[in-house]
Amino acid sequence: MAEASIIDGKAFAASLRKSVSRQVATLQELHGITPGLAVILVGEDPASQVYVRNKGRSTVEVGMNSFEHNLPNDIDQETLLALIRQLNNDPLVHGILVQLPLPNQICEDVVLDAINPEKDVDGFHVINAGRLATGGKGLTPCTPRGCLMMLKKWLGDLSGKRALVLGRSNIVGKPMAQLLLRESCTVTIAHSRTRNLADECRRADILVAAVGRPRMVSGDWVKPGATIIDVGINRVPDTRPGAAEGKMRLVGDVDFGSALYVAGAITPVPGGVGPMTIACLLANTITAVCNTAGVDEPEV
Ligand code: GUN
């Protein structure tokens, strides 16, 4: 049986980072602006620390300024809001990101909506969510933006295709569905209460899985030739022959081994969507610079 093509997110991300580097150079040359991205991390969650470190490194690599703010886990909401107000007013900071999740004493919605929407590089502010839903110009959440870029590069015109988004989170599922709708797909959002989930999946030309359930989508749920974007990053025990005892590995929401023989194309985990998310954060920071400084986005 023919194997699906592997959509190489690492290569897509490297190419996008290169474009962003060129845009940074142009902004410096034409306008004397060095884009600045501020990232706030509250607490010491190890996964969040890794994400924030990677974001900081990538930001510096493309020539931007990176401002990291590490706050203790027991910080009160008002102190966090005061920092956000300070960054909103800082002309050297064009993008602001608050790493999620936040500790229980802090209300996520209040914090996200305190960020100036023009600097909201995560695209989580209610104004940016509203702009996405109503067709306006705004900042789009990074992971769905990266998924859409890969889909368009791979498939070209998406118009009329049946797309199934598995998962309804504000970070991925809902904005992903909005983006696919903008591209004139026929969009279904499936979730934990969806009936006959396998049948829904089998109808999809494009399947975006973002539920955080390891290998939930098996090959026999996939329409032959479909394009699969696997957003899941799940740590599971490595039971492959030869793996050391207690070793863990990353797998997606899709059972790659069986889907590979049915799908037309599929993103791997790791090396698929993950690298694109940070690259899109940098691309969003360019958009934020241009919004706040009132200049045109440089051509790539
Ligand atoms: N935590 C997990 N994913 C994300 C993301 O895309 N943005 C932020 N700010 N926090 C996250």
Could you read off the pLDDT of 161-213 as tens digits, one per residue? Answer: 999 999 999 999 999 999 999 999 999 999 999 999 999 999 999 999 999 99
The preferred substitution site among 52, 115, 122, 278 for testing ligand 1, maximizing ligand atoms within 8 Å of CB, is 122
CA quadruple 109, 110, 115, 116: dihedral sign: positive
**What is the structure's pLDDT at 300?**
82
Does the annotation mark 23 as catalytic?
A: no
In whole angstroms, what is the distance from residue 77 CA to residue 181 CA? 36
Give per-residue pLDDT as tens, 64-81. Answer: 999 999 999 999 999 999
Residue where the block lists tokens 């690492």: 10
Among 99, 120, 178, 223, the active-site one is: 99
* b/e per residue 135-145 (b: at least 16 CB within 10 A): eeebbbbbbbb
Question: How much is the pLDDT for 299?
Answer: 87
Answer yes or no: is pLDDT of 48 > 90: yes
Ligand 1 pocket member 97 (CB < 6 A): yes
Average confidence (pLDDT) over 49-63: 97
CA-based R_g, the chain, Å: 20
Ligand 1 centre distance from Cα of residue 48 (Å): 8
* Average pLDDT of the segment spanning 284-292: 95
Report the C-alpha dihedral over residues 9, 130, 93, 149, rounded to 10 degrees.
20
pLDDT in tens, 103-156: 999 999 999 999 999 999 999 999 999 999 999 899 999 999 999 999 999 999
Q: Is any ligand 1 atom within 6 A of the Cβ of residue 170? A: no
Active-site residue identified among 23, 119, 120, 122: 122
Pairing mode of beta strands 95-98, 265-266: unpaired
Q: Is 120 in the pocket of ligand 1 (CB under 6 A)?
A: no
Does the active-site annotation cover 99? Answer: yes
Report the pLDDT value the prediction gives residue 247, as an integer from 0 to 100. 96
pLDDT digits 0-9 by tens, 201-229 = 999 999 999 999 999 999 999 999 999 99
What is the predicted pLDDT for the residue at 179? 98
Catalytic residue status for 122: yes
Ligand 1 pocket: which of 51, 176, 233, 280 to mutate (most atoms <8 Å of CB)?
51
pLDDT of 17 > 90? The answer is yes
Q: How far is the CA of 163 from the centre of ligand 1 (A)?
A: 24
Q: Which residue is associated with the tokens 């959509």?
A: 7
Q: Is 39 helix (H, G, I), strand (E, B) or coil?
A: strand
Ligand 1 atom nearest residue 97's Cα? 9
Which residues are CB-contacts of 15 (< 8 A; sequence separation ≥ 6)?
A: none
Q: Give the pLDDT of residue 42.
A: 98
Main-chain dihedrals φ then ψ at residue 36, nearest 5 degrees: -125, 130
Backbone angles phi, psi at 256, to 5 degrees: -55, -45
Helix (H, G, I), strand (E, B) or coil at 64: coil
Helices (H), the chain: 9-31, 46-61, 77-88, 108-114, 126-134, 142-155, 173-182, 197-202, 256-259, 273-293
215 Cβ contact list (under 8 Å, min separation 6): 234, 251, 252, 253, 254, 255, 256
